[in-house]
Homo-oligomer: A and B are copies of this chain.
Amino acid sequence: MYFIDGLECGRYDRRVLAEFTRRVLAEFTKGGMAAVTITLSFWEDALETMDAIAAWNDLARANSDLVTIARTAEDIVAAADSGRTAVVLGSQNSSPVNDRLGFVELFTDMGLRVMQLTYNNQNAIGGSCYEPHDSGVSRFGREVIAEMNRVGMLVDLSHVGERTSFDAIKASDHPLAITHANPRSLYDHPRNKSDDLLRALAAGGGVLGLATYNNICGPYAQSPQAWCDMVARTVDLIGIDAVAIGTDLGQNSGPDRLEWMRKGKWTRSEQPGASLPGTPAPPQEWLRSTLQFPDIAAALRESGRFNEAEIEAITGGNWLRLYRQVFGS
């Protein structure tokens, strides 16, 4: 069984060393994780993202008994087979490419394997789930998606607007991911996705990582049992091959990072992020670190709704298949 968390937050660079400590990396391996896809950037541009990659390269070398940076699905299997966790470098924005098509390939060369088309704001590629009007995929966006297909970078639509997401699925020759979101029909939130969109994702071989982040789970965050009920309902909706996990966990996260995530460089005004007024979400208490990831597998088992093969698919197998298909070798 290869446990994979399709998305974790956290920000690591020279200035913010606290988030991925050796303790957190040790929790990856103690949790039995084959892979964790981490966040290199929310708003960071090319140089800032390169600083983050350089810092991760150093971090992985200094903790090579615990982690290794993976570029292929085979790297993940090899890491797991050696008792270590593969870190997959992801970005929650396309800001690293600095609006240059050629940089998609260069960042692939540097190890970036998963890139969200937009974070919370519209950019040159398309619209986000929080914009009043979603443009759909722009002309440049079509070029970027084709280039991501060519070089084997996984397209992530988690914070992307609905129209841009539909356009991206249509434009992409490869299956895509929604690494961390939930069905809007189960919990109505702008970050969550319509049934139609999720069906289109699944029809193309894509994968949805269900999040444990309380603000987008609503009542399903209250207990592992409630959350497993959301998993079962989502499997009923889009099939067992399309459902995985992207916790959206943030490690050692403080108010500084939250402010960076929400305000970035684009505003001085207060921003609620996913914590919307009128949708109070109970705190999620049962998954505080990656160490508890196996508890999800146990809860899925206890729910009696899945057989072992299905639990394997949800807890990592589906990500591994998608990564193998998209990343190439």
Residues of A within 8 A of B (CB): 46-47, 50-51, 53-55, 57-58, 98, 100-103, 105-106, 109-111
Contacts and interface: CB of A to CB of B under 8 A. Distances in A.
Q: Interface majority SS on A: helix, strand, loop or mixed?
A: helix
5 contacts: A46-B47, A50-B103, A54-B102, A54-B105, A106-B110
Contact of A102 (B57, B100, B102, B111): B57
Nearest to A98: B47
A102 B51 contact: yes
A51 B98 CA distance: 11
Nearest to A54: B102
Contacts of A103: 50, 54
A53 B98 contact: no
A86 B47 CA distance: 29
Nearest to A52: B102
A103 B100 CA distance: 19
A58 B110 contact: no
Contact of A110 (B51, B55, B101, B109): B109
Q: 9 closest pairs, A vs B, by CB?
A: A54-B102, A109-B109, A109-B110, A106-B110, A50-B106, A57-B105, A54-B106, A46-B47, A53-B106
A58 to B, nearest CB: 7
A100 B51 contact: yes
Contacts of A54: 100-103, 105-106
A50 B46 contact: yes
